[in-house]
Amino acid sequence: MGEIILKVVWLCHFVNSEMKKYLKRPYLKEMAPWIDSFINLYKNTIPLFELHIIAPNYYTNTNIAFVKDGIHYNLFKFRSNLIPKKIYNLIPFDYLTNFYNNKKEVYKFIRKINPDVVHLFGAENAYYSSTILPIIDKYKILLTVQGFIKNESKKNFINLARRRIEKEIITKINNVAVDANFIKDEILNINKNANIFWHKYPVYNNKKYSLKYVNKIYDCVFFARVCEDKGINDLIDAIALVKEKNKNVSLCIIGDVKKRFLIKLKRRCESLNLSENIIFKGFLQSQDDVHNEAIKAKMCVLPTHHDNIPGCITESMLLKLPVVTYNVGGIPDLNKEHEAVILVKKGDIETLSKKIILLMNNKDLRIKIANTAYKIAKKKFNNKKIIKQFNKIYNKIK
């Protein structure tokens, strides 16, 4: 074993197989798969640093610490025992108390670990990101920006509070890691003193399927969080236009969706005479399950309204699944050298439908774009480089 140079905390949220096994909750929905992909880079390796992960424990609501594959997991109790669960679910106590309990529990873990660096993944998720605020002046802090809650369309009490906390975090943390130029520009607009570092996100490698021909039973697949900001309404409207040219067009929608919103979407499909054309698969338990279903489509369509470079797109590139998407956020960066994805102007539903029809009717074009995207993804997204990038950043920050 090599010498341990640094002790590092990752502050984030996720659900992976290790957490489900330890908590004896096999039915839990996996969450934030990019964090699990980061974790997998460091399992059973000669460590460049000692890795401790701190994340909220929504499930048993207790403080838990365990070690698995050389990685220290620390799950914090996010709800006070003084507040019954039923009442907690009705009233936003965390936002009303400015996440007092979460901050207190995380600080206990931080003091015990005494890390050299605390690495916060995402400022937008206040229930864990807010816990960084009391310790900013006590430890070296790095923020990786996953996206911006300020760009989301909802403006209710909770989202406004999340925006306030996100801005406070970005304003106060001067070491910021990004992976797209538009994020860098937004960060520097909020915090002119920010030191910008670059690192890529890992790509999930599904080894259980072959990239050889798979029977295509869907024309299109959407696999992401099913919400307005990911463009699901735009996609349904586009499919309605496609149906005017091809009445048998099919769309498979994979992803977690709130019950009320699902009812709304299904009613929308009925009103557009699309009930027979659109299949809602719902949440699938693992990324392997998602990929093995997604690959049955001719193309992936993701008309997201704001984003970095979504995992859905990079995973599709590695699945040799051609992608149609809006030209927002960091997505256009994928086309710097060659056309890896088909870009459409945000909100241009008519053009979106035309691009879908183009790919549906042109197998040679699908193969060409898929092969180009695959080569670019293999070159651009290298998991081995990320390990070195992190170690380099941790040793540079002040």
Per-residue pLDDT reduced to its tens digit, 185-217:
999 999 999 999 998 888 766 554 445 567 899
User: What are the backbone angles phi and psi of residue 57, rounded to the nearest 5°?
Assistant: -105, 90
- Distances, alpha carbon 286 to alpha carbons 55, 293, 296, 390, in Å: 20, 11, 16, 26
CA–CA separation, 188 and 40 (whole Å)? 31
Exposed / middle / buried, residue 214 (Cβ in 10 Å: 0-12, 13-18, 19+): middle
Q: Write down the pLDDT at residue 387.
A: 78
Q: Write down the pLDDT at residue 264.
A: 96
Q: Write down the pLDDT at residue 366.
A: 95
Contact call for residues 95 and 157 (beta carbons, < 8 A): yes
Q: Write down the pLDDT at residue 210.
A: 47
Q: Write down the pLDDT at residue 1.
A: 42
pTM reported for the whole predicted model? 0.84
Kindly list the structural domains of the chain, giving each domain's residue range(s) and its CATH number in brackets, ordered by start. 6-202+382-396 (3.40.50.2000), 218-380 (3.40.50.2000)
Instruction: Spell out the long-range contacts of 269-277 with Cβ–Cβ below 8 A and sequence spacing 24 or more.
Output: 269/236, 272/236, 272/237, 272/240, 273/240, 273/243, 274/236, 274/239, 274/240, 274/243, 277/239, 277/243, 277/248, 277/249, 277/250, 277/251
- Please give the single-letter amino acid code of residue 68: K
Residues 67-97 as b or e (16 or more Cβ within 10 Å = b): eeeebbbbbbbbbeeeeeeeebeeeebbbee
Q: Write down the pLDDT at residue 305.
A: 94
Question: pLDDT in tens for each of the 398 residues of the chain?
Answer: 445 578 999 999 998 888 888 888 888 888 888 898 888 888 876 667 889 999 999 888 899 999 988 899 999 998 887 788 788 878 888 888 999 999 999 999 999 999 999 999 999 999 999 999 999 999 999 999 988 888 777 778 888 999 999 999 999 999 999 988 889 999 999 999 999 999 888 876 655 444 556 789 999 999 999 999 999 999 999 999 999 999 999 999 999 898 999 999 999 999 999 999 999 999 988 888 899 999 999 999 999 998 888 889 999 999 999 999 999 988 998 998 899 999 999 999 999 999 999 999 999 999 999 999 999 988 888 777 787 888 889 989 97
């969080």: which residue's tokens? 225
Contact call for residues 99 and 131 (beta carbons, < 8 A): yes
What tokens appear for 393 in the block? 């950043």
Q: Write down the pLDDT at residue 209.
A: 46
What tokens appear for 82 in the block? 């003084």
